[in-house]
Amino acid sequence: MEARRLAILCSHLRPINSGHSRAPPSHLSSSNCASVAKSEQVIYDPHKGSLQDGCVFCRIILGEEPAFKLYEDDSCLCILDTRPLSNGHSLIIPKSHYSSLEATPPSVIAAMCSKVPLISNAIMKSTGSDSFNLLVNNGVAAGQVIFHTHIHIIPRKARDCLWESESLQRRTLKFDEEASRLAESIQEMLHSTKENDSSKVQESNLSGN
Protein backbone atom coordinates (compact mmCIF):
# COMPACT_ATOMS: atom_id res chain seq x y z
CA MET A 1 0.00 0.00 0.00
CA GLU A 2 2.82 2.39 0.87
CA ALA A 3 4.50 1.62 -2.45
CA ARG A 4 1.28 2.42 -4.33
CA ARG A 5 0.86 5.70 -2.46
CA LEU A 6 4.41 6.74 -3.28
CA ALA A 7 4.02 5.68 -6.92
CA ILE A 8 0.88 7.81 -7.33
CA LEU A 9 2.43 10.80 -5.58
CA CYS A 10 5.67 10.47 -7.55
CA SER A 11 3.72 10.57 -10.80
CA HIS A 12 2.87 14.19 -9.88
CA LEU A 13 6.27 15.11 -8.49
CA ARG A 14 9.51 16.28 -10.05
CA PRO A 15 12.37 14.04 -8.87
CA ILE A 16 14.66 15.86 -6.46
CA ASN A 17 18.25 14.70 -6.16
CA SER A 18 19.22 15.26 -2.56
CA GLY A 19 22.51 13.37 -2.87
CA HIS A 20 21.62 10.92 -0.13
CA SER A 21 18.76 8.66 0.87
CA ARG A 22 16.77 9.13 4.03
CA ALA A 23 15.73 6.33 6.31
CA PRO A 24 11.98 6.33 6.98
CA PRO A 25 10.94 7.91 10.28
CA SER A 26 10.52 5.45 13.11
CA HIS A 27 8.14 7.43 15.33
CA LEU A 28 4.96 6.12 13.71
CA SER A 29 3.87 2.76 12.36
CA SER A 30 3.66 2.58 8.57
CA SER A 31 0.67 0.24 8.71
CA ASN A 32 -2.31 1.33 6.66
CA CYS A 33 -6.05 1.53 7.23
CA ALA A 34 -8.06 -0.61 4.85
CA SER A 35 -11.60 0.16 3.78
CA VAL A 36 -14.13 -0.47 6.50
CA ALA A 37 -15.06 -4.15 6.49
CA LYS A 38 -18.05 -5.74 8.20
CA SER A 39 -15.77 -8.20 9.97
CA GLU A 40 -13.75 -5.43 11.60
CA GLN A 41 -14.61 -4.52 15.17
CA VAL A 42 -15.86 -1.00 15.79
CA ILE A 43 -14.47 0.66 18.91
CA TYR A 44 -16.54 3.28 20.70
CA ASP A 45 -15.13 5.80 23.11
CA PRO A 46 -17.77 8.18 24.54
CA HIS A 47 -15.28 11.05 24.42
CA LYS A 48 -13.98 10.33 20.90
CA GLY A 49 -16.89 8.83 18.96
CA SER A 50 -16.90 5.80 16.66
CA LEU A 51 -13.46 4.45 15.76
CA GLN A 52 -12.39 1.63 13.44
CA ASP A 53 -10.28 -1.26 14.72
CA GLY A 54 -7.21 -1.73 12.49
CA CYS A 55 -7.08 1.88 11.30
CA VAL A 56 -3.72 3.45 12.10
CA PHE A 57 -5.30 6.89 12.58
CA CYS A 58 -7.90 5.50 14.98
CA ARG A 59 -5.13 3.78 16.92
CA ILE A 60 -3.24 7.07 17.14
CA ILE A 61 -6.40 8.76 18.45
CA LEU A 62 -6.73 6.05 21.10
CA GLY A 63 -3.06 6.42 22.04
CA GLU A 64 -2.20 2.92 20.80
CA GLU A 65 0.21 4.14 18.08
CA PRO A 66 2.93 6.79 18.51
CA ALA A 67 2.82 10.06 16.60
CA PHE A 68 4.12 13.61 16.80
CA LYS A 69 0.93 15.44 17.80
CA LEU A 70 0.91 19.12 16.89
CA TYR A 71 -2.64 20.03 17.85
CA GLU A 72 -5.63 18.35 19.45
CA ASP A 73 -9.16 19.31 20.47
CA ASP A 74 -12.49 17.54 20.93
CA SER A 75 -13.12 17.07 17.21
CA CYS A 76 -9.76 16.65 15.49
CA LEU A 77 -6.07 15.92 15.78
CA CYS A 78 -3.07 17.19 13.79
CA ILE A 79 0.09 15.07 13.42
CA LEU A 80 3.28 15.11 11.37
CA ASP A 81 3.06 12.92 8.26
CA THR A 82 5.52 10.01 8.44
CA ARG A 83 6.22 10.18 4.70
CA PRO A 84 6.46 13.97 4.29
CA LEU A 85 6.59 15.63 0.89
CA SER A 86 8.20 18.64 2.57
CA ASN A 87 9.50 19.56 6.00
CA GLY A 88 6.50 20.06 8.29
CA HIS A 89 4.02 18.12 6.11
CA SER A 90 1.14 17.48 8.50
CA LEU A 91 -2.27 15.80 8.62
CA ILE A 92 -5.52 17.00 10.22
CA ILE A 93 -7.61 13.98 11.24
CA PRO A 94 -11.16 13.80 12.63
CA LYS A 95 -11.52 11.91 15.90
CA SER A 96 -14.29 9.75 14.47
CA HIS A 97 -13.74 7.28 11.63
CA TYR A 98 -15.06 8.30 8.20
CA SER A 99 -13.65 6.46 5.20
CA SER A 100 -13.97 9.30 2.69
CA LEU A 101 -14.74 12.99 2.41
CA GLU A 102 -18.27 12.37 1.16
CA ALA A 103 -18.91 10.10 4.16
CA THR A 104 -17.76 12.81 6.57
CA PRO A 105 -20.50 15.04 8.07
CA PRO A 106 -20.27 18.71 7.00
CA SER A 107 -19.97 19.74 10.65
CA VAL A 108 -16.84 17.58 11.04
CA ILE A 109 -15.31 18.95 7.83
CA ALA A 110 -16.07 22.48 9.04
CA ALA A 111 -14.39 21.78 12.38
CA MET A 112 -11.27 20.45 10.62
CA CYS A 113 -11.07 23.32 8.16
CA SER A 114 -11.59 25.92 10.87
CA LYS A 115 -8.23 24.90 12.37
CA VAL A 116 -6.28 25.26 9.11
CA PRO A 117 -5.36 28.97 9.54
CA LEU A 118 -4.08 28.44 13.09
CA ILE A 119 -2.14 25.23 12.39
CA SER A 120 -0.77 26.24 8.97
CA ASN A 121 0.50 29.55 10.34
CA ALA A 122 2.42 27.76 13.09
CA ILE A 123 3.83 25.23 10.62
CA MET A 124 4.97 27.92 8.17
CA LYS A 125 6.70 29.92 10.90
CA SER A 126 8.43 26.81 12.26
CA THR A 127 9.65 25.66 8.83
CA GLY A 128 10.53 29.06 7.38
CA SER A 129 7.92 28.62 4.66
CA ASP A 130 5.66 31.33 3.30
CA SER A 131 3.11 29.17 1.49
CA PHE A 132 1.37 25.82 1.76
CA ASN A 133 -0.82 23.41 -0.19
CA LEU A 134 -4.06 22.19 1.36
CA LEU A 135 -4.76 18.75 -0.08
CA VAL A 136 -7.27 15.92 0.25
CA ASN A 137 -6.64 12.60 -1.49
CA ASN A 138 -10.21 11.33 -1.78
CA GLY A 139 -10.50 7.86 -3.35
CA VAL A 140 -8.04 5.34 -4.75
CA ALA A 141 -7.44 7.13 -8.07
CA ALA A 142 -6.59 10.32 -6.15
CA GLY A 143 -3.91 8.52 -4.10
CA GLN A 144 -5.86 7.79 -0.90
CA VAL A 145 -4.44 4.73 0.86
CA ILE A 146 -5.51 5.39 4.46
CA PHE A 147 -9.28 5.31 4.43
CA HIS A 148 -9.86 7.66 7.34
CA THR A 149 -10.61 11.19 6.14
CA HIS A 150 -7.66 13.55 6.53
CA ILE A 151 -6.40 16.89 5.23
CA HIS A 152 -2.78 17.43 4.22
CA ILE A 153 -1.00 20.69 5.03
CA ILE A 154 2.16 20.78 2.89
CA PRO A 155 4.53 23.72 3.54
CA ARG A 156 6.04 25.26 0.40
CA LYS A 157 9.01 27.44 -0.48
CA ALA A 158 9.80 29.27 -3.69
CA ARG A 159 11.35 27.09 -6.41
CA ASP A 160 11.05 23.90 -4.34
CA CYS A 161 9.83 22.14 -7.53
CA LEU A 162 7.53 19.89 -5.52
CA TRP A 163 4.72 19.50 -8.06
CA GLU A 164 5.70 18.65 -11.62
CA SER A 165 2.36 20.03 -12.82
CA GLU A 166 3.47 23.53 -11.81
CA SER A 167 5.86 23.54 -14.77
CA LEU A 168 3.12 22.57 -17.22
CA GLN A 169 1.07 25.07 -19.18
CA ARG A 170 -2.61 24.97 -18.32
CA ARG A 171 -5.23 24.69 -21.01
CA THR A 172 -7.69 27.58 -21.23
CA LEU A 173 -11.33 26.66 -20.66
CA LYS A 174 -13.34 26.98 -23.84
CA PHE A 175 -16.78 28.53 -23.49
CA ASP A 176 -18.30 25.97 -25.84
CA GLU A 177 -21.11 23.37 -25.80
CA GLU A 178 -18.96 20.75 -24.07
CA ALA A 179 -18.16 23.06 -21.14
CA SER A 180 -21.80 24.17 -21.01
CA ARG A 181 -23.01 20.54 -20.82
CA LEU A 182 -20.51 19.82 -18.04
CA ALA A 183 -21.66 22.83 -16.01
CA GLU A 184 -25.33 21.91 -16.50
CA SER A 185 -24.67 18.31 -15.45
CA ILE A 186 -22.96 19.40 -12.24
CA GLN A 187 -25.75 21.89 -11.48
CA GLU A 188 -28.37 19.14 -11.96
CA MET A 189 -26.44 16.84 -9.63
CA LEU A 190 -26.28 19.56 -6.97
CA HIS A 191 -30.00 20.30 -7.34
CA SER A 192 -30.83 16.59 -7.06
CA THR A 193 -28.67 16.26 -3.95
CA LYS A 194 -30.42 19.22 -2.30
CA GLU A 195 -33.84 17.72 -3.07
CA ASN A 196 -32.81 14.34 -1.62
CA ASP A 197 -31.50 16.02 1.52
CA SER A 198 -34.76 17.96 1.91
CA SER A 199 -36.79 14.75 1.51
CA LYS A 200 -34.72 13.01 4.18
CA VAL A 201 -35.26 15.90 6.60
CA GLN A 202 -39.02 15.82 5.98
CA GLU A 203 -39.16 12.03 6.48
CA SER A 204 -37.16 12.37 9.68
CA ASN A 205 -39.54 15.04 11.00
CA LEU A 206 -42.60 12.92 10.15
CA SER A 207 -41.16 9.84 11.83
CA GLY A 208 -40.38 11.90 14.92
CA ASN A 209 -43.98 13.08 15.28
Which residues are the active-site residues?
150
* Ordered DSSP codes for the chain: -HHHHHHHHHTTB-----SS--PPPSSS----PPPP-TTSPEEEETTTEEEETT-HHHHHHTTSS---EEEE-SSEEEEE-SS-SSTT-EEEEESS--SSSTTS-HHHHHHHHHTHHHHHHHHHHHHT-SEEEEE---SGGGT--S-S--EEEEEE-TT---BGGGGSPPPPPP-SHHHHHHHHHHHHHHHHHHHHHHHHHHHHHHHH-
